[in-house]
Amino acid sequence: MIPRICLVAVLLTLGFAPAAQAATLAEQVASIVGHSSFAGSTNGYAVYDVTARRLVYTRNAPAELKPASNMKLTTTAAALGRMGPGHRLATHVFASGTLSGGVLHGNLYLVGGGDPSFSTAAYAAQAFKGAASRDGVLAVAVRSAGIHSVTGAVLGDESYLSNARTGPYWKASYWQDCAPLSALSINEDLTSYGSIYSYHNPPVRAAQVFRAALVGNGVKVAGGAGAATRPSSARPIASEQSPPMYRLTLEMDVPSDNYFAEVLNRDIAKAAGRPGTTFLGRVYTRTYLTSIGVGLTGAELLDGSGLSVRDRLSAGQIMELLLRVHDRPAYSWWFRNSLPVAGVSGTLSKRMLTGPAHGNAHAKTGTLDDASNLSGYVTSRNGHLLVFSLLMNHGPLINVTAAQATQDRIVQLLAGSSPPA
């Protein structure tokens, strides 16, 4: 293993110098940590004052720990950085055979383009407040293209990305946390909004639901639904685009959607011109983060969501990621605003309901049986932007309530502080 580099030495090299003026705030953070159950070596902390360019507090910051859903911060940064906030993904319909008098003598192919938001109108409204691509819009587009009847079948094509249904080193129970992965799914492959039960052949299910949408919009289909790769001779008929990438990352981060994270991770590899696998998505995520100055020595980035039991990131690395992204004006605003807001939205909607952090802190949660983490941004009372990463690991089970209470105390302290210039 490559030896770990001292975080403070790295920060000094980069020009991020700690200063004595921040000692009072550091002592207060240290007191909260020291009086908690999370002061040991399986916990890591890092706080940095972006406005003053000063390290505020670290404890075990270089320790590589389980990030849980804090791993989604890496996926968000790479998706926005590599593809751009305005990038859209598309689901296509292709036709084989001949079209005569409104009758297609052949098959329709529903071709996935790695869009995790492709949904029915009802699911889109419930899950995404309508911000999703929809099968009904695509069905209307097929009819508008002059197809009123199909003699063949509707076939789902997921060949754009890998058809591996899970990520590496996932527990068997994680089917409850992430539906089977595919370049083509509908309603995130769930039976209903909020359900943990999923189908196990996403392209077939998508084809079935799309076939019903076609029939509902006046397109007769004689055949059934299945899965197949479209032939090279098939011609494009219609396309439905996803919301822009900034909205997809928001839909990933606010509720901590594992399915979105894993599909977008594979899309990152495709954006680099490589096969859309989980492994290559991580390779190009790591390459991108390194290119913007994030030191990842010792880190293990094995999936896009943080479900892998072998994922590892340190509080120092996450802090540095947040800093480096802040310095990328092309997407830094979108990145920060993709995160849950304390007391307002997503996984933070029931935390920090009052106090200076309420409506102020933007942060990503991360929870597993043995991990509870919180990393993000908060503005101090005198207007300093602070970044923080609070990683708490304790196996086999962690007291999540106690961990979150400690995290919230620290963030409230930072929000109510007045760091010196």
Q: What is the pLDDT of residue 191?
A: 84
Q: What is d(CA 401, CA 350) in angstroms, rounded to the nearest whole number?
A: 12
What is the model's pTM? 0.93
How many CA within 13 A on the CB side of residue 213?
Answer: 23
Q: What is the pLDDT of residue 173?
A: 84
Q: What is d(CA 62, CA 2) in angstroms, rounded to the nearest whole number?
A: 13
What mean pLDDT, rounded, does the chain reach? 94
Q: What is the pLDDT of residue 175?
A: 78
What residue spans define the domains of the chain? 7-83+248-416, 90-243
**Residue count of the chain:** 421
Q: For residue 282, what are the CA distances in angstroms to 214, 262, 277?
A: 37, 10, 9
The amino acid present at 131, given as its one-letter code, is A
- Residue 218, pLDDT > 50, answer yes
Spatial contact of 351 and 367, defined as CB atoms under 8 Å apart: no
CB atoms within 10 A of CB 241: 13
What's the CATH architecture for 90-243? 3-Layer(bba) Sandwich (3.50)
Average pLDDT over residues 103-111: 98
Q: What percent of the chain has pLDDT over 70?
A: 94
Average pLDDT over residues 211-223: 98
Average pLDDT over residues 103-110: 98
The pLDDT tens digits for 31-45 are 999 999 999 999 999
Spatial contact of 111 and 160, defined as CB atoms under 8 Å apart: yes
Q: What is d(CA 261, CA 84) in angstroms, rounded to the nearest whole number?
A: 16
Cα Rg, the chain, nearest whole Å: 23
CATH of 7-83+248-416, picked from 3.50.50.60, 2.40.128.20, 2.40.50.460, 3.40.710.10, is 3.40.710.10
3-state secondary structure of 393: strand
Q: What is the pLDDT of residue 4?
A: 43
Spatial contact of 359 and 343, defined as CB atoms under 8 Å apart: yes
Closest Cα to residue 176, out of 258, 68, 106? 258
What 8-state DSSP symbol labels residue 354? S
- Residue 5, pLDDT > 80, answer no
Spatial contact of 262 and 74, defined as CB atoms under 8 Å apart: no
Q: Are 7-83+248-416 and 90-243 equal in CATH topology?
A: no
How buried is 171 (Cβ within 10 angstroms: 0-12 exposed, 13-18 middle, 19+ buried)? middle
Q: What is d(CA 312, CA 190) in angstroms, rounded to the nearest whole number?
A: 29
- Residue 21, pLDDT > 70, answer no
